Amino acid sequence: MRASLLTKLLVVYVLPMTALIALMLFFGWSTVRGLLNDELGKRLASHAAAAAISQRAELLAMLAPGDDGNRTHRNAVARLAALQGATDALERLYIFTPQHQLLASTAEGDGPIGTPMPELGRDVGEIDWALSHRQPIASHVTFKGKDGRLYKSGYAPILNDQGEAMALVGVDASAESFTVLDRALVQLALFSALVGLLGLVAVSLLADRWIGRPIRRLARAVARIGRGDLKTEVSSGNRDEIGSLALGMDRMRDRLLARERELQMMLSGIAHEVRNPLGGIALFTGLLNEELSADPEARAYIEKIQRELSHLERLVDDFLNSAREPRLEKLPIDLRSLFEALSELMAPELCVKRQTLDILVAPDVEALLADETLLRRALLNLLRNASQAAPVGGHIELKAARHARKFILSVRDDGPGIPPEVEAQMLTPFFTTKEKGIGLGLPLVARFATAHGGALRLLPSDKGTHFAMELPQASMPRGCSDGCRVDARPASDVSEEAGVAVD
């Protein structure tokens, strides 16, 4: 299934906009997160440095496992607690050796002196840097505490009088601002998606109004011109490029219409000029036939001339019908009676080739509103083509049915069928494969169907050729008797087929 122009335009709009919004969200989120991380890291490093300055390295070096609660240990914990109390943002302060063993902590659950602290392995790089450079530093990563919240750490070395790092102070602070930032990003993404969706709907409506509808009107106009309707103006209602295109198409339609009228006048003039001498030839041939009634051989020649004259008159009629604009006078037509009349007209041709004509009329087929003269001529063209295509002793079917608010009038034969290369040109005027044909029969049938709002179709068939005219179904106004004129309009639906064979 091909995507419409509007769909392609929306895709061209949606994909770049989605990528741009996603890129902007990611850039904004990463920038804000980096700034928050830097600011929190500086604060933690500063707090860690302040805590390290408040401690005495020589006394801390004397602490050993089992010294919990002695004066040195209590003083170290008290200094840490004082700094924690002065700053609400700090969750825990602790002192540990370069070997990652605990010396003191404000958290009761950290354990006694000498407890290993394997969790410091996540920041081993930062701790080693603080020891070697004797400077405070913040961790680069955040971690989840036992309560499931995010935390970030800062470290500072505790130096003795000789400038040697005897221990380190660790400071943990909440990093929930990152969680809030992530939530804000999700909310912003959802809000952006909602705004983008509303924008997409608005763009779709505006694009359909300003682009889609005018283009569809142009497409319908092209389809009308392709069907031969050159009288309906092409209008887009726009003053932009689409309007210019519609104006150009309208000028093209005017030129085609003028050209068609010139051709119609020329064909009509030629047909009339030919018809007059044909009428005189037919008159004098009839008189000559009477004068030579006693000469069988001369009469045979005259009858041959008359047959050729009849063929020429039919060709002239086809030219005239092709040149004239179809003027429809829609009347209620009883299809059963029309089919029987057509079978009588076809009887001489059918008898010559010993062919059979079956008439099938579905029981639910009502009167058809159409121009009876044109319908008779169209069906007669199809029947003659079928008789010429069917073999000696062949079979022809003339059928009427209803389906999907349409009348389906079809003619099927059991001949050799239409080759694909001929099928592509069969509705082209003056294209014919017959020795004496002029190629106007099927185009006239198609023109009749189009004039009634329908179409001529070549249906698939296992054998032979199957043509069908699809004509819009119409209902009869109340009180309409035979002969009243009515306008066609859709009526109720369809159904079965049945019929009777007529030889």
Q: How far apart are CA 240 and CA 210, in angstroms?
A: 10
Closest CA to 473 of 497, 450, 454, 459: 454
* pLDDT at 485 > cutoff 60: no
Residues 466-495 have a mean pLDDT of 53
pTM, rounded to two decimals: 0.44
In this prediction, residue 483 has a pLDDT band, given cuts at 50, 70 and 90, of: very low
CATH of 5-180, one of 3.60.15.10, 3.30.450.20, 3.40.50.1820, 1.10.10.10: 3.30.450.20
Beta 406-413 vs 499-502: how paired, if at all? unpaired
pLDDT attached to residue 427 = 66
Report residue 496 as tokens: 């079965």
Range picked from 98-112, 254-268, 308-322 for highest mean pLDDT: 98-112
Alpha-helical (H) ranges within 61-113 are 71-86
pLDDT tens profile 359-396: 888 888 877 888 888 888 888 888 988 898 889 999 99
Q: How far apart are CA 377 and CA 389, in angstroms?
A: 18
Q: Mean pLDDT in the chain?
A: 80
What is the CATH topology of the domain spanning 331-502?
A: Heat Shock Protein 90 (3.30.565)
Amino acid at 499: G
* pLDDT at 420 > cutoff 60: yes
pLDDT attached to residue 496 = 32
Q: How far apart are CA 424 and CA 446, in angstroms?
A: 14
Q: Do residues 352 and 392 make contact, with C-beta atoms less than 8 angstroms apart?
A: no
Same fold, 5-180 and 331-502: no
The DSSP call for residue 141 is S
Report residue 473 as tokens: 């179904």
Q: Give the phi and the psi of residue 491 in degrees, each rounded to 5.
A: -125, -165
Instruction: List, as one string, the DSSP characters of 198-262.
Output: HHHHHHHHHHIIIIIHHHHHHHHHHHHHHTT--SSPP----SSHHHHHHHHHHHHHHHHHHHHHH
The DSSP call for residue 482 is T
* pLDDT at 487 > cutoff 70: no
Taking phi first (over 0 means left), then psi (-120 to 50 degrees means alpha), and beta for anything else, what does residue 439 get? left
* pLDDT at 495 > cutoff 70: no
Q: Do residues 444 and 417 make contact, with C-beta atoms less than 8 angstroms apart?
A: no
- Higher model confidence: residue 499 or residue 244? 244
pLDDT attached to residue 309 = 80
pLDDT attached to residue 49 = 92
pLDDT tens profile 271-311: 777 777 877 888 888 888 788 777 888 878 888 888 778 77
C-beta atoms surrounding 479 within 10 Å? 6
Q: Do residues 376 and 400 make contact, with C-beta atoms less than 8 angstroms apart?
A: no
What is the CATH topology of the domain spanning 241-323?
A: Helix Hairpins (1.10.287)
Q: Where are the domains of the chain?
A: 5-180, 241-323, 331-502
- Higher model confidence: residue 131 or residue 331? 131
Range scoring the smallest mean pLDDT among 150-159, 226-235, 303-312: 226-235
Q: Do residues 88 and 100 make contact, with C-beta atoms less than 8 angstroms apart?
A: no
Residues 189-213 have a mean pLDDT of 79
Beta 395-403 vs 356-361: how paired, if at all? parallel
pLDDT attached to residue 502 = 32
